[in-house]
Structure 1
Amino acid sequence: MESGTSSKRPNILLITVDQMRFDCLSILGHPVVETPNLDELARTGVRFDHAYSATPTCVPARAAIFTGMKQTSHGRVGYQERVPWNYPNTLPGELAKSGYHTQCVGKMHVYPARSLLGFHNVVLHDGYLHYNRDKQNTPVQEHFDEVDDYLPWLRGQVPGADLLDLGLDCNASTVARPWALPEHLHPTNWTVSQSIDFLRRRDPGKPFFLWMSFVRPHSPLDPPQAYLDMYKDLDIPDPVIGEWAMKEDPEGNGFNPVTSKGIVPKRRLRTAMAAYYALITHIDHQIGRFLQALSEYGERNNTIIMFTSDHGELLGDHHLFRKSLPYEGSAHIPFIVNDAGGHLDLASGSAVSEIIELRDIMPSLLNAASAEIPGSVDGESIWDLARGDKEPREKSWREYLHGEHTQGIMSTQWITDGREKYIWYSQTGEEQFFNLTQDPGELHNLIHDPSLQEKIQYWRSILIHELQGREEGYVQGGCLVVGREPVSVLSHIKQA
């Protein structure tokens, strides 16, 4: 049977990147970033303009993707390694049970690292993770040299090569330098090469589910020279700095290459921003390469494509870097769906304003595959939203999203509907309120505006409702309690 006609059900391609900001698409009018292939997917597909990562770091975000659960259900409300993933229902597992050939290439970030989580096969590269490079404290079977697929391949091309050769830490969001080896050896190219090879090796009698999962633009900021050259001399706009943000950096945190906050030397920051944008364009071009291969195999019109990121990158906004915080640069993510074959009757070229989250990926893709959605799933299928006014919706969409992240003194809880945002720092009691419609850069904290107190109390009450009964004791007597010890993993997951 000819390729592309092996099944009435469509193939599914899930493309995720790591740490990409929501605004880094040229179709959204970004002043410097070029993303021609993602632009085309959006132009001929559907763009979701209010997609968020409710717990915006790698581990909890990926738990939401894998399980379709909100953070209180999958249990990961912060970043913690080495907690086993024992979820009975996963996106690849359900698709495999439904008859799909399932494959992941690239980043999983689960534990144990080689857990299949329902995939038939995984070609793994999680990037540089400190915990599994620790030669003293990592079990041999979990050490990076034993679990990673990219590094042995790279060493086969360049004997003695390592991920540390550029001298850049995996969390160095403020320093950059070009990739020193030929471009085809870069992990971004490798991920696409391995994904194209899957097209050759897949079972032709089944539809496929391929998760093409890039480590970049997460640092190290190491784009190939040709991509860095595209940006290094451009007039890159400064990050947005809220009136509430730090004004001075007396401890000099901005000089630390792996800082999460601080005033970074201007030249260093501009180079880092250029490299970050360069990595995004590099990924975009490689996505274009895969789409060309998909067409050559006759599968482009039989493949539903979904593109998103696990979380964003603050990139100097408010003198903050990396992720985990609830601000737009960190928690707001790009999200595009494309259905060239018309399987889902989407409103092509449209943009959706309703608020969606990573938990919605699993039920949406299972729905597209005509597979059963397990009762454990908290998310909702997004396809009715993506059809616009073509069909009446059976029920109203979610009114708001509850997000959170454990991070010591910076631990936060937040509520947003995409138009307004209420933030509570659980360890200090600090509150913030932003009107995202009028102030998308979150420059003005309106928490003390007398005219908004009724509205702020409404959002505060929503957060109290969401936190009622939590094991940390965030709510007592109907009020938020400051200083309760946060946890990164809820007890029902640690005990599983």
Structure 2
Amino acid sequence: MGMKIIVFLLFVIFSIILIFYFQQINPNYVCKDCNVILISIDSLRADHVGVYGYEKNTTPNIDRFASESILFKNYITQSYLTPVSEFSLHTSLYPHQHGLIIPWPSDNEYKLTNPPVTIAEILKSYNYTTIAISTSPEFKVFRDFGNGYHISNFSYVRDLPVIDEQLISVMKNKKFFLWLAIGTVHAPYGKYVPEEIQNKYENLQYRGLFKNKVINLVEINSIYNYTYYPLYERGEWLERNVSENPVQLNQDDIDFIVAKYDAGIEHMDNFLGNFFNILKSAGLEKNTIIIFTSSHGEELGEHKYIMHYDIHESEIHVPLIIKHPGLEHKIIYTQTQSIDILPTILDFLKIPQYEKAEGNSLVPLIYNEDPQFNKYIFIERSPLWEEFAKTNTTFLPHIDFGVRTSEWKLIYRTSRDFEMNNSWWGYISGQKIFVPEFELYNIKQDPKEQKNLYFDRIDVADRLKTNLFEWIKEKGIAIFNRTDIEVVKIFPYP
């Protein structure tokens, strides 16, 4: 009898200690009924943000915001295209699962037959007032981004959004979820940026090819391997203008384009500085979780082209900064991914997890970095330009994959033959563009992915291939066999 009492008392004491331990470790992450603001920038790569190491002062307000927040240094998007990667964030599903894998629909409007549940729909069911404000035209065209919102304003114009008094009043008087999507950084670079900001970044002595041009998608898609191939628009398509000779570019030309891109970042940062001040003046800081990220990054010549086209680090490594009223500043180096955002929001709000979510809540990581957390991140690439350069047919079932660890990344080109035969860059240059089946990069030593180590480190490649092939098999990816996806047009991409 005495032994049973002792065992019972020990159990009670142990339980009390355990409860006290977890209360001490995890006392502040729950923010039940807190407001949530999700800020999604379009085309902002991490290494052009101050707190991610950029030497230019493009983001003083974001940097200040990060100093009071949790800064995730290795956040990866699930793909490289705005609608594809952003929908993974909103659904916690991989692109092949959520089904939104086309770059632009033929009739400028697209809606999935069986759309998955989004974070807005979940929070709406928990009595949140849901608001969407977007200046990324993709979100107006792909109608499923509007699912679950009480209030929405989706614009075709990539300018800064408007935060008016009516919106502030709603935010002050309602429990709300605000998705703020900003398209200003996306091409056309610098179009909506005041001249005084552009002059801070541009070489004012520059007199090159792009001096008096708008750096839009026609200009960007004329550039490959430091050569400018003149294009012209024929209906809804771009074609090579063979009557004009290619122009050799130099570093000053590329620097001018990058300067326009950086000017857009500062313009966006100034807007956010004002927005954060509005939140503070309205007394919303104390009960609002703010998540700042980007749909994807941007290529600026590292792989011979400009814009976003592939799943290289410049295009999938983006900022993630979370400001939480109950959590202090911290820097987290463990890799995280788009599909982790939805489970994290639900964890913060103490809302039951969405059973179909593929991602993991970041809450445990905030308290204890774990090298096994997201040990492997999987990325998907559906085609962009190459499907449409010469073949106005169907969106064929061609897809590439990537698997990433904290040190290595393997890219598997399942569609290499098709890509080589239909490459946009091959079309404008008149060259055969070689596409390797596998690419292996040491992203710690070579973050710009300049040296393919596939044949030098077969041991690492084989390990990553095993994990990637197991994941493909586990997910039952059937996109290889799909031939029924609708006809789409790619140009002009907005």
Considering the TM-score relative to the shorter chain, is it more than 0.5?
yes
Q: Which residue of 1 aligns with 2:413?
A: 425
Deviations 1:437-493 (A, max 9, x none): 1111212111111xx21211111122222223432449xxxxxxxxx989799xxxx
Q: Which residue of 2 aligns with 1:322?
A: 307
Listed one character per residue, the Cα deviations across residues 194-233 of structure 1 (whole Å, up to 9, x for unaligned) are: 4x641123471x3211111101200111121121011113
- 1:269-280 correspondence runs (5 A): 269-280=254-265
**Mapping for residues 111-122 of structure 1, pairs under 5 Å:** 113=143, 116-122=146-152
Take 1:376 and 1:312, find their aligned partners in 2: how far apart are those partners? Answer: 27
Is 1:334–2:310 an aligned residue pair? no
Q: Which secondary structure does the structure 1 equivalent of 2:335 belong to?
A: strand
Residue aligning to 2:283: 298
Residue 416 of structure 1 is matched in structure 2 by: 404
Match of 1:285 in 2: 270
The answer on whether the counterparts of 1:101 and 1:203 sit within 8 Å (CA) in structure 2 is no
Task: Report the CA distance between 1:78 and its aligned residue.
Answer: 4.8
Contact 1:312/1:333 (CA < 8 Å) preserved in 2? yes
The structure 1 residue matched to 2:71, chosen from 19, 44, 47, is 47
Residues 88-120 of structure 1, C-alpha deviation per residue, up to 9 Å, x if partnerless? Answer: 521011111112111011146165648631111
How far apart in 1 are the matches of 2:447 and 2:484? 29
1:232 pairs, out of 171, 182, 202, with: 202
Partner residue of 1:381 out of 335, 358, 361: 361
- CA–CA distance in 1 between the matches of 2:171 and 2:148? 16
**Aligned equivalents of 2:200 and 2:166: distance in 1?**
29
1:358 to 330, 333, 338: 338
Which residue, out of 419, 442, 459, partners 2:464?
459
* Corresponding residue number in structure 1 for 2:381: 405
CA distance in 1, matches of 2:175, 2:90: 19
1:46–1:112 CA distance, 2 compared to 1 (3 A): closer
Counterpart Cα distance in 2 of 1:438 and 1:284: 30
Give the conservation status (yes or no) of the 8 Å contact 1:62–1:109. Answer: no
Structure 1 distance, partners of 2:101, 2:486, is 5
Query: Residue 319 and residue 14 in structure 1: after superposition, are their counterparts in 2 closer, same or farther (change >3 A)?
Result: same
What is the alpha-carbon distance in structure 2 between the residues aligned to residue 312 and residue 76 of structure 1?
19
Q: Is residue 200 from structure 1 mapped to residue 169 from structure 2 by the alignment?
A: yes
Cα distance in 1 for residues equivalent to 2:349 and 2:343 = 10
Q: What is the CA deviation profile of residues 269-299 of structure 1, one whole-angstrom value per residue up to 9, with x for unaligned ones?
A: 2222111101111111110101111111111
- 1:351 alignment partner, SS class: strand
> Aligned partner of 1:414: which letter?
G
Taking the aligned partners of 2:356 and 2:55, their CA distance within structure 1 comes to 42
Q: Is the 2:201–2:263 Cα contact (8 Å) retained in structure 1?
A: yes
The answer for the alignment partner of 2:395 in structure 1 is none
- Distance in 1 (alpha carbons) for counterparts of 2:273 and 2:225: 45
Change (3 A) 1:50 1:251: closer
SS at match of 1:317: coil
Contact 1:33 1:277 in 2 (8 A): no
Structure 2 vs 1, CA of residues 33 and 327 (structure 1 numbering), >3 Å: closer, same or farther? farther
Question: Which is worse superposed, 80-89 or 422-431?
Answer: 80-89
Say if 1:384 and 1:8 are closer, same or farther in 2 by CA, change over 3 A.
closer
Using the size of structure 1 for normalisation, the TM-score is: 0.71
Deviation for aligned residue 1:79: 2.7
**Normalising by the residue count of structure 2, what TM-score does the alignment of the two structures yield?**
0.71
* Partner-residue secondary structure (3-state), 2:290: strand
Q: Does 1:437 align with 2:444?
A: yes
Which residue in the other structure is 2:56 paired with?
32
Structure 2 CA distance, aligned partners of 1:488 and 1:461?
33
Unaligned runs of 5+ residues in structure 2 are 1-30, 207-222, 233-237, 240-246, 388-397, 417-435, 488-494
Q: Secondary structure at the match of 1:376?
A: coil
Q: Distance in 2 between matches of 1:234 and 1:30?
A: 22
List per-residue Cα deviations over 1:362-389 (Å, max 9, x = no partner). 1111222222222121111112212346
Match status 1:470 vs 2:477: yes
* Conserved? CA contact 1:69–1:378, under 8 Å: yes
Tell me if structure 2 keeps the 8 A contact 1:10–1:207. yes
Gap change, CA 1:455 and 1:486, over 3 Å in 2: farther
Specify which structure has the higher proportion of helix: 2
Structure of higher CA gyration radius: 2
Q: Which of 168, 179, 183 is matched with 1:215 structurally?
A: 183
Aligned to 1:336, the other structure's residue is in SS state strand
Cα distance change on mapping 1:90 and 1:287 into 2, 3 Å = same
Q: 2: distance between equivalents of 1:276 and 1:201?
A: 34
Change in 2 beyond 3 A, CA 1:301/1:251: closer
Name the CA distance, whole Å, in 2 between partners of 1:270 and 1:52: 26
1:359 touches 1:379 (CA, 8 Å); kept in 2?
Answer: yes
Cross-structure match for 1:371: 351
Give the conservation status (yes or no) of the 8 Å contact 1:93–1:117: yes
| C-alpha contact 2:111 2:144 (8 A) present in aligned 1 | no
User: Would you say the 8 A contact 1:24–1:33 is kept in 2?
Assistant: no
Q: 1:57 aligns with which of 81, 90, 99?
A: 81
- The answer as to whether partners of 2:224 and 2:305 remain within 8 angstroms in 1 is no
Sort the Cα spacing of 1:276 and 1:355 in 2 relative to 1 into closer, same or farther, 3 A. same
What amino acid does structure 1 have at the position aligned with 2:176?
Answer: F
Paired position in structure 1 for 2:122: 94
Greater mean deviation of Cα atoms: 31-40 or 278-287: 31-40
Structure 1: distance between partners of 2:251 and 2:442: 29
Quote how far apart the aligned CAs of 1:87 are: 2.6
Task: Give the match's secondary structure for 1:23.
Answer: helix
> Which residue identity is paired with 1:326?
I
Distance change >3 Å, CA 122–CA 114, structure 1 → 2: farther
Contact 1:254 1:264 (C-alpha < 8 Å) held by counterparts: no
Question: Are the structure 2 counterparts of residues 126 and 67 from structure 1 closer, same or farther at C-alpha, using a change threshold of 3 Å?
Answer: farther
Quote the offset at 1:51 in angstroms. 0.9
Instruction: Tell me what 2:20 maps to.
Output: none
Q: What are structure 1's unaligned runs of at least 5 residues?
A: 1-6, 129-186, 237-247, 475-483, 490-496
Tell me the amino acid that sits aligned with residue 460 of structure 2: K
Instruction: Supply the RMSD in Å over aligned alpha carbons.
Output: 3.2
Query: Could you tell me whether the CA contact under 8 Å between 2:110 and 2:141 is conserved in 1?
Result: yes
